Amino acid sequence: MPIEERLRGAGLPPLPRPAWLEVDTEALAANLQTVRAVAPPGSGLMAVVKADGYGHGLEVAGRTFAAAGAERLAVATFDEAVRLRAALPDGPPIVVLFAVPLEALAQAAGARIELAASDAGWLAEALPRWAEVRAGPGAELRLHLEVETGFLRAGLRPTAVAAAAGAITATPGVALAGLWTHLADPADEQVTAAQLACFREAEARLPQAGLSLPGSHVAASGGIFVGAAAGTRSVRPGLALYGSLPADLPLSGAAAAAAARLRPALGLKARPVRVEEVASGERVGYGGTWRADRPSRVATLPLGYGDGWSRALSGRASALVRGRRVPLVGVVAMDAVAADVTDVEPPVTRADEFVLLGQQGGERIRPEELAQARTTIAWEVLAGMAARIPRVYHAGPGPTGLRVQGSEVFGGGTRG
Positions annotated as catalytic residues are 50, 286
Going by the DSSP 8-state scheme, the letter that residue 193 receives in this structure is H
Q: What does 20-89 look like in DSSP terms, one character per residue?
A: EEEEEHHHHHHHHHHHHHHSPTT-EEEEE-HHHHHTT-HHHHHHHHHHTT-SEEEESSHHHHHHHHHH-T
Tell me if 307 sits within 8 A of 389, measured CB to CB.
Answer: yes
Helix, coil or strand: residue 224: helix
Tell me if 13 sits within 8 A of 409, measured CB to CB.
Answer: yes
Long-range contacts of 101-109 (CB under 8 A, 24+ apart): 102/126, 102/129, 104/78, 105/129, 105/130, 105/133, 105/141, 106/133, 106/134, 106/135, 106/139, 107/82, 108/78, 108/81, 108/141, 109/134, 109/135, 109/139, 109/140, 109/141, 109/142, 109/173
Element (H, E) at 189: helix 189-208
Most distant CA atoms of the chain, gap in Å: 80
Tell me if 19 sits within 8 A of 307, measured CB to CB.
Answer: yes
User: Considering Cα of 82, then 83, then 89, then 93, what sign does the dihedral take?
Assistant: negative
Long-range contacts of 313-317 (CB under 8 A, 24+ apart): 313/370, 313/373, 313/374, 314/289, 315/289, 315/290, 316/373, 316/374, 317/356, 317/365, 317/370, 317/373
Helix, coil or strand: residue 405: coil
Residue 346, preceding bond cis, omega within 30 degrees?
Answer: yes
Helix, coil or strand: residue 194: helix
Q: What does 317-329 look like in DSSP terms, one character per residue?
A: -EEEETTEEEEEE
Helix, coil or strand: residue 149: coil
The DSSP bridge pattern shows strands 391-395 and 19-24 to be parallel
- H helices, E strands: number in the chain: 13, 23
